Amino acid sequence: MLHETLLYLFVIGIFSLVKTQEKHAFLFCTVLTFFVGLVFTFFVMDWRIIADSPQVFSIGSTVGENIKLDIISSKQNYMLIVPFFVTTLLALINNLIFKYETHKKKMLSLFVFNLIAFMMLICGNNFIQFMTFVFVIDILSQLLISDINAAKRYSMYNLVADMGIFLVLSMLQGKLANLDVGNISHYYETGRHRDFIMFVLMLSLFVKWGFIFFQGYWLDLKSAKFHALYFLTYLSTPMAALILFIKFYPIVVVSPSFEPLLDWAVGLSMAWGGLGAFFAPQIKEKFVYFHMLCVAFLVKLIEQANFIWTESFSNILICLFIFNLCFYYLHYEIDRGHGKNKKSLFLVFLAFLFVVIALSLQVFSLFIPEHALWILAFEGVFLFDVSQMFVAYGGKLRAPNEEKNLCTRTAVVMLGSMGLLAYMSSFKVAMHGWMVCFALLFFVLCLMLPKKINDEARAFYGKIQYVDLFAFLYDKCVLGIIRKAGFLAHIFIDFIFLERTLWPAVSAMNGSFVKVYRHMSRLGGAYYLFCTIAGFLIVMYLMMR
Amino acid sequence: MSVNLLLLFVIFLPFLGSFFVLLSKDGADQTFQNAFEASIFTVLVNILITLSLFSFMPLTPALDEIRYSIRFLPFMKFSFGADMLTLLFTLGCQMAVLAGILGIKGEKQNQRHVLFYTLLYLSFLNGYFFALDIMSFFIFFMLQLFPLYMLIGKCLPENKHMVSVRLFVHYFFGAMLLLAGCVFILSLKQDDILLFNIDKMHLSYRKSIMVWGGIFFALILRVPVWPFHHTLSSVCAVLKNPLVFIALLIMPLTGIYGFMRCWPLNIPFEISVLSPVFQALCVVTMLFAAFGEYANLGGGHKLLNYVFIYDLLYLLAVFLPIDTIGENIAYSVFSFLLISACLVAIEGCVLRQSAAANISVRGVLCKMPRAALCYALFVLAAAELPVSAFFGNNFVIVSKIFNYHLYMGIAVVLCMTLGSVSLFRRMYVLKDESSIYQIKEQIEDLDMMSFMVMMIFMAVLFLSLVNPLWFAVLKGI
């Protein structure tokens, strides 16, 4: 069952921390990767025989509150774990075969512990467990970011998001007096503030997903290695947020503002992600914008599917991860290899093509006529961006026409096949043929976009990027106000009131008392006798009362 | 060994140890190695004895599980006792002091007197925590002031002695108020009035005001609530010695402990009218501390404000009309003491190294891998990283505050967030790799012993995630 799988993975993780000689590192990693693969086969076998009723394995509990770690082996949890297990395995294999990765063992450890954290997050049932493993995933992710400023911003954003989740969960716990996630649907029987809870939780999740207005820290990651980037996008905080979204949907869907908020956030993120992926000059920036587009769409898809995780979602996630890997190899072939190895380049393009087709097939399989607009928008923007990227890379290649044509041809084939696919699949139920024709025409026009317009757009995008609106607003509206308020409070309260008024007054009063006392004490013994008797009488009087 | 004897050992062992420290000979180069080792040994033995006391605790603690009375004079009887709350506060303080002692290891000046007064202070603190009757409670409440004043006086610059006098007067005034309250209580009954029985006494309206008012103000003067925060912060602002800094940071917790011990669940009517004002003051002070922590760049200021935030959180929690979170507060305070003491000790080490090399602190941790690891782990724990006992118990405390008042809860979480963000910012300043090129001097890392002790502290926090201190509670030592 799951606790055994976790135990095996934990042992592998511990072994991965063992120090080895540099020359043995590769062999060591190969063996451990093989064992992870073996654990995966056991996991799949368990999945096939798991009973319908969930099996719970609990670790410890405190005396007062019901804090415990649960490992619930249920079909739904296995289903949810599969994409993360598969992607981790793919990442491990890639880590093994990619020759430029110098820290193979460190990456292996991180991947394995991250998978454990994901599994614990998925199979948990307890608020504390959710918070714990979301934080663990954040920290493991942060270890991959070598640039100190990017790491700082990443951890700050995620810390604030985590504290938002902390706030919501502590509100729920306060009212329910129970840490079990199964009880959250009963919150509104006694609790209030449904809009506030929804707003805070969704805002925290938006930060973690890197939606519009919060994409700044993701863009900082353009200085990170590609290895780190693909890990961070599909095996890290955004996916942890997705799991929380699925677990905590009962408390957000009851708010009437939930649907519009999510629609606006997803819509704007998809639009901004699509635009960014088109305009961004650097491949890693394009990568981040693609991530923004895809994650926003995935969130919307899950919401449309009533928060039930199906096999299609797993497939979409795996496709997106392979899409990232293709991105990685494209970058590697063109930027490092300068496209000289035509065979490799062709293979990458082919892989790209297959994964885009597979992804689109999965997306279409989830088609519901009522939500055709979202799927159409995603597919349109996604394919347009991918094809434009191919065209752009074709232009970038120095070995001219043949490769350029290869790029353009791949883009055209991709678009053509997608159009056909769209028409042949569920789209035909909801859409008229003219819409498909219009979409195809639009794509073709985009392909033929005059160079001048393309350049102008890129320059405009560059200008936008230099104006970091979010950072500007944060600096002026948050930091500035806090600094000024703090300064004024310090001046008026601490300095003028306390330091210059209250304490000097007390001091002066004290001084005058001392003066009076000294003056009186000069009177000698009579004074002491008087004071003692007076004090004694006062105490006696008060005690008698 | 009898449990009563163990109880007395915990109180008087540091007292004895302090004299060993005082009488220890200095090394040839004016080092204080002997004094240092004697104090480490004393505190370690004290910690072990305290841990062994855990084994006497049943799983459902009552207030006086272990109780021991001693009669010094015919009219003076002291009662000592321990429950889980007491042991957690005691153990936390002892471990914090241990971290502080390790924090001054690299000091060039002789710290023998500082160690002597620290052990004396620890002894009185233990006495205060174990006190069960009003008389011993007051005596140890008062006695703490003397070594603390001496400690501060030893470590303050020449021109700043007035602030220590002001702090002493501030605490002394509080002690006098407690004395007034005690006199009124003792006037009703002559002997052995236990702390948890004060609220069961029948007092007239005026006496009730005198008693509860006296206790309230005596204890509140120890907690940094506005406007009483000023004296403590003005001393901490100029202190450089991590051990004394830690000793000072423990003082507000003694006030909170006092409230937990003798403050009734239902606040006396005479005081309850002031309750909303007082809570508002706490929240406002917390917000100011959080903003102060965020705005200030110095590590000392940041840590001080961070400590203020959590002191006030515990104070707010103590005043909630719920009797089920006492244990959570105690566990949280225990973790908080460990975390803040280790952070202070590492910060002290970093400041000392940067001052010795005459460089800025920016990026210093890049040259100190052990200190960097410890600092990162403790900052993560301080920032509510859930893999520690700190998080779980704070979560419960905050949830109770939310249940009591939404806006208060929001303000508390906001302050905690700002506090955590500020500590993160400080950590990134200390780990800023872009400044390494400026550091050409050899920087001495945290020594192995301190590193190991801090890692053990971290392990204690980590192992206490699900069931705090289960290893001590169930098995003893």
Is residue B93 very low, low, confident or very high in pLDDT (cuts 50, 70, 90)? very high
pLDDT for the residue B343: 92
For residue A166, give every residue at least 6 positions away whose Cβ sits within 8 Å of its Cβ, in sequence order, or none: A131, B384, B395, B398, B413
Q: How close B190 comes to chain A (CA, Å)?
A: 13
How high is the pLDDT of residue A414? 55
The H or E element spanning position B425 is helix B406-430
**Range A91-98 contact pairs with CB under 8 angstroms and sequence separation of 24 or more:** A91/A230, A91/A231, A91/A235, A91/A321, A92/A33, A92/A36, A93/A33, A94/A325, A95/A29, A95/A33, A95/A227, A96/A26, A96/A29, A96/A30, A96/A33, A98/A227
Residue B125 — very low, low, confident or very high, per pLDDT cuts 50/70/90?
Answer: very high
Q: What is the pTM of this model?
A: 0.80
Distance to chain A for B321, nearest Cα, Å: 14
pLDDT averaged over chain A? 75
Helix (H, G, I), strand (E, B) or coil at B23: helix
Give the total residue count for chain B.
Answer: 477
Residue A433 has pLDDT above 60, yes or no: no
Q: Do A171 and B59 touch (CB under 8 A)?
A: no
CB contact under 8 A, A163 and B384: yes
In a domain, B67, yes or no: no
Q: Hey, which residues 101-130 in chain A have their CB within 8 Å of chain B? A: 127-128
Q: Does some domain include residue B425?
A: yes
* Contacts of residue B13, Cβ cutoff 8 Å, sequence gap at least 6: B42, B45, B46, B49, B123
Mean pLDDT throughout A182-203? 80
- CA–CA separation, A221 vs A232, rounded Å? 10
In a domain, B153, yes or no: no
| A237 and A120 co-located in one domain | no
Average pLDDT of B191-196?
71
The distance of B129 to chain A (nearest Cα, Å) reads: 23
How high is the pLDDT of residue B192?
65
Domain that holds residue B433: 274-477
**Residue pointed to by tokens 């007062």:** A64
Q: How far apart are CA B202 and CA B199, in angstroms?
A: 8
- Whether residue A457 sits in one domain with residue A407: yes
Last residue of a domain, one of A67, A92, A125: A125
Q: Grade residue B111 by pLDDT with cuts at 50, 70 and 90.
A: confident
Closest CA to B402 of B466, B325, B467: B325
Lowest mean pLDDT among A233-247, A395-409, A498-512: A395-409
CA distance A235 to B269: 56
Query: Is residue A106 domain-shared with residue A161, that is, in the same domain?
Result: no
B125 vs A471 pLDDT, higher one: B125
A271 & A338 share domain: no
Pairing of strands A69-73, A55-59: antiparallel
Whether pLDDT at A411 is above 80: no
- Over its C-alpha atoms, chain A yields an Rg (Å, rounded) of 31
pLDDT digit string, tens, across residues B22-37: 887 766 666 677 888 8
List the single residue in A127, A160, A545 with the smallest CB-CB distance to B206.
Answer: A545
Confidence (pLDDT) at A510: 67
C-alpha closest to that of B252 among B164, B156, B160, B144: B144
Whether the per-residue pLDDT at A545 is higher than 60: the answer is no
Regarding whether A438 and A298 lie in a shared domain, the answer is no
Q: How far apart are CA B131 and CA B140, in angstroms?
A: 8
The reply to whether residue A171 touches residue B402, judged by beta carbons under 8 angstroms, is yes
Q: Which of B55-64, B243-252, B274-283 has the lowest mean pLDDT?
A: B55-64
Confidence of residue A543 (pLDDT cuts 50, 70, 90): low
- The Cα A327–Cα A333 span in angstroms is 10
Instruction: Compute the distance between CA of residue A102 and CA of residue B323 in angstroms, rounded to an integer.
Output: 56
Closest by CA position to A324, among listed A212, A234, A413: A234
Check whether A33 has a pLDDT greater than 90. Answer: no
Which residues from A are below 8 Å from B421, CB to CB? 156, 159-160
- Whether residue B405 is contained in a domain is answered as yes
Among A302, A323, A351, which residue terminates a domain? A302
| A418 and A366 both lie in a single domain | yes
Amino acid at position A111, single letter: F
A311 shares its domain with A280: no
C-alpha closest to that of A304 among A268, A253, A355, A239: A253
Structure tokens at B60: 């459902």
Confidence band, pLDDT 50/70/90 cuts, at residue A429: very low
Q: Other CB atoms closer than 10 Å to residue B437's CB: what's the count?
A: 8
How far is Cα A187 from Cα B60, in angstroms, rounded to an integer? 30
Q: Which pLDDT value is given to residue B341?
A: 92
Tens of pLDDT, residues A462-498: 555 444 555 566 667 766 776 677 667 666 766 677 6
Residue A314 or A366, more confident = A314
Long-range contacts of B157-163 (CB under 8 A, 24+ apart): B157/B238, B160/B238, B163/B231, B163/B234, B163/B235, B163/B238
Mean pLDDT computed over A364-387: 71
Q: How far apart are CA A8 and CA A2, in angstroms?
A: 10
Find chain B residues with C-beta within 8 A of A543's C-beta: 183-184, 187
Q: Is residue B445 part of a domain?
A: yes
Residue A207: which of A477, A470, A481 has the closest Cα? A470
Whether residue B78 is contained in a domain is answered as no
A-B contacts at Cβ under 8 angstroms = 139
* Residue A463 confidence (pLDDT): 56
Q: How far apart are CA A209 and CA A203, in angstroms?
A: 10
CA neighbor of A141 nearest in space, from A162, A155, A126: A155
Interface contact flag, B403 A175, Cβ < 8 Å: yes
Q: Of A93, A125, A157, at which residue does a domain stop?
A: A125
A385 & A418 share domain:
yes
pLDDT at B1: 57
Asked if the model's pLDDT at residue A113 lies above 60, the reply is yes
Buried b (16+ CB within 10 A) or exposed e, A163-185: bbbbbbbbbbbbbbebbebeebe
Domain count, chain B: 1
Q: What's the DSSP call for residue B445?
A: P
**Domain membership flag for residue B68:** no
Q: Looking at residue B121, what is its pLDDT?
A: 93
- Whether residue A413 has pLDDT greater than 60: no
Please tell me the total count of domains within chain A: 4
More confident residue, B329 or A433: B329
Query: Residue A243: is its pLDDT beyond 50?
Result: yes
Domain co-membership, A410 together with A520: no
B190 and A CB contact within 8 Å: no
DSSP class per residue in B241-256: -HHHHHHHHHHHHHHH
The pair of three-digit structure tokens given for residue A272, joined into one six-digit string:
């901004």
A103 and A138, same domain (yes or no): no
> What interhelical angle do A75-97 and A311-331 show, nearest 10?
10
Q: What percentage of residues in chain A have a pLDDT greater than 70?
A: 69
Distances (CA, A) of B333 to A476, B120, B203, B227, B424: 37, 22, 33, 23, 21
Q: How far apart are CA A238 and CA A257, in angstroms?
A: 22
| Distance, CA of A414 to CA of A378 (rounded, Å) | 15
Looking at the fold, whether A229 and A153 belong to one and the same domain comes out as yes
Taking a contact as any Cβ pair under 8 Å apart, which residues of chain B between 72 and 131 contact chain A? Answer: none
The string of pLDDT tens digits covering residues A439-449 is 555 556 555 55
Q: Mean per-residue pLDDT for B283-290?
A: 81
pLDDT computed for residue B475 by the predictor: 47
User: What is the DSSP secondary structure assignment for residue A274, as one 8-state letter?
Assistant: H
Per-residue pLDDT, averaged over B112-119, amounts to 88
Contact: B417, A163; criterion CB under 8 Å? yes
Nearest Cα residue in chain B from A489: B288
- Beta carbons of A68 and B466 less than 8 Å apart: yes
H helix intervals, B192-325:
205-220, 229-238, 242-262, 269-272, 275-295, 299-318
**In this predicted structure, what is the pLDDT of residue A194?**
80
The answer to whether A171 contacts B465, with C-beta atoms less than 8 Å apart, is: no
Q: Cis omega (within 30 of 0) on the bond before B227? A: yes
Q: Is the pLDDT of residue A397 over 50?
A: yes
Residue B69 or B444, more confident: B444
Work out whether the CA dihedral B156, B159, B160, B162 comes out positive or negative.
Answer: positive
- Residue B118 in 3-state DSSP? helix
**A326: exposed, middle or buried (C-beta count within 10 Å: 0-12, 13-18, 19+)?**
buried
Quote the CA–CA distance of B309 and B41 in Å, as a whole number.
33
> Per the CB < 8 Å rule, is A132 touching B395?
no
Residues A415 and A536 in one domain: no
- In the predicted model, what is the mean pLDDT of residues B154-183? 84
Rounded (10°) angle between helices A283-304 and A226-234: 10
What is the extent of the structural domain holding A517?
Answer: 473-544
- In the stretch 236-295 of chain B, residues with CB closer than 8 A to chain A read 288, 291-292, 294-295
Instruction: Give the Cα separation of A209 and A237 in Å (integer).
Output: 7
DSSP letter assigned to residue B105: T
The verdict on residue B130 lying in a domain is no
Contacts of A373 (CB under 8 A, 6+ apart): none
Average pLDDT along chain B? 81
Q: By the 8 A CB rule, do B391 and B385 touch?
A: yes
What is the arithmetic mean of pLDDT over A508-533?
68
Burial class of residue A139 in the structure, from the number of CB atoms within 10 Å of its CB (0-12 exposed, 13-18 middle, 19+ buried): middle
Distance, in Å, from the CA atom of B243 to the CA atom of B240, rounded to the nearest integer, reads 9
**Burial A361-384, CB ≥16 within 10 A → b, else e:** ebbbebbeeebbebbbbbbbbbbb
